A and B are shown apart, each in its own frame.
Chain A
């Protein structure tokens, strides 16, 4: 079982429809949800403070590119954590998680770890990374900081492959870059721009003054220097036990 499997075996879990299979929510479940949400604080989720729309590519197959919706919460000035969805609708599918750290903490990581991360400078300067519905002048002060960060993004539901349920091993994702395999297909960008009535091109022009980081670590965006991506395989092994399974 591998993140790079082309197509999992044909089953009802694969199909053309976008929505996951399953019955609509019952009234009983609505009542439980309502009760729970009135009594439970849901505090960690309330820390989510930004919606970012951008793009990502599969590390093991960079021809596969997706639009992503990150819901960002900040733990401190140097660290962000984001559940990632395939759209901004209420029925959006949770497709993975991205973590974002500032450059000084990225530099302290072991090289083997750095290979799993990607840089954000191009994504931000090119206007691909946007905060939908936020005027550019509000979001801009933070973009110079964000342009120096690195991200680690695991995708757990390969919806672009047609999976109606989350199948297989998690896949490592990479960020858009300005060279060959890292470039995002114009149709994908146009579709996003039309939805939000924005122009990525115009946004790029307005971000010209944002400083390029002086240095982008060559271990990040590993494919650029090494022409290699990464896949995850899930293999059987002996379980270390403290009681029988299952």
Chain B
């Protein structure tokens, strides 16, 4: 909780609500504090994920800002966003550090039968942080990639068959029908916000992420926490998914980093031609 500068009432920054507007009376302040405490209790007890939910810095959204965005939301069509039709939950780890693992909520749209593009959030809630994205392609498309590109992509076979990748709230038979395709695909995942480090802003370089490929990799506590919060059992799903099959040609040896870690590095490059950029002293 943060203290609002204007009226010194503790408030939770909820989307589109300025809890502290025009506060003056004691009874109003008490009511607000009571409401804030209830909200805090809910936050802590219900869907608190294991990954650190560091608060994004900032004031609650002002009413005038909200009004503009209500107007834009009503008038503009959001066609690319309207294509997003499914929510998958899975785990990623950093391309150079398997011990750092992140719960990843994918919101996916199909470009066509063989390609999906997914927005990745750290939770499925309204205040979720957009932490990255993933592209998912069929085996056929994966095989068209240049060899130096293939290591940046990971297989999905283990995640699906082991039950750790699931579609929250979707009944098993529909879920399994959908995941039958996912099982055979490859994904390329980039994260921009290292929430597992407790970053409250998207700092640093883009991180190539990898997916689980065998038993023993998933952090057990993280797994149990997700099972509990979403009411799923990975073991039970594993049994039901025994019939699902992976890529026709097996998992490509160059996928999943080709067995190596992959780490991003930043490099300065000259603007060309350098002479065309006079030094601008502000």
Contacts and interface: CB of A to CB of B under 8 A. Distances in A.
A85 B111 CA distance: 12
A35 B71 CA distance: 30
Place the interface of chain B in its size category. Answer: 35 or more
Contacts of A42: 84, 87, 107
B57 interface: yes
Looking at chain A, what size class is its interface with the partner chain? 35 or more
A245 B256 contact: yes
A134 B70 CA distance: 12
B205 interface: yes
Given A50-B72, A77-B60, A105-B57, A232 B282 contact: no
B73 to A, nearest CB: 4
Contact of A237 (B126, B260, B269): B260
Interface string B53-92: 0001111111011001111110111111111111100000
Contact of B112 (A23, A40, A113, A218): A23
Contact of B269 (A60, A73, A88, A145): A60
A165 B277 CA distance: 33
Interface of A: 1-2, 4, 8-9, 11-13, 19-26, 28-29, 31-37, 39-51, 60-63, 69, 71, 73-79, 81-83, 85, 87-94, 96-97, 99, 101-102, 105, 109, 113, 131-134, 138-139, 141-142, 145, 152, 154, 156-157, 165-170, 179-181, 215-216, 218, 223-225, 227-246
27 contacts: A9-B147, A13-B145, A13-B149, A23-B112, A28-B177, A29-B181, A36-B85, A40-B86, A44-B125, A51-B77, A79-B201, A82-B130, A83-B130, A83-B133, A94-B119, A134-B71, A138-B72, A142-B64, A154-B190, A168-B149, A179-B280, A227-B277, A231-B269, A242-B99, A242-B216, A242-B219, A246-B255
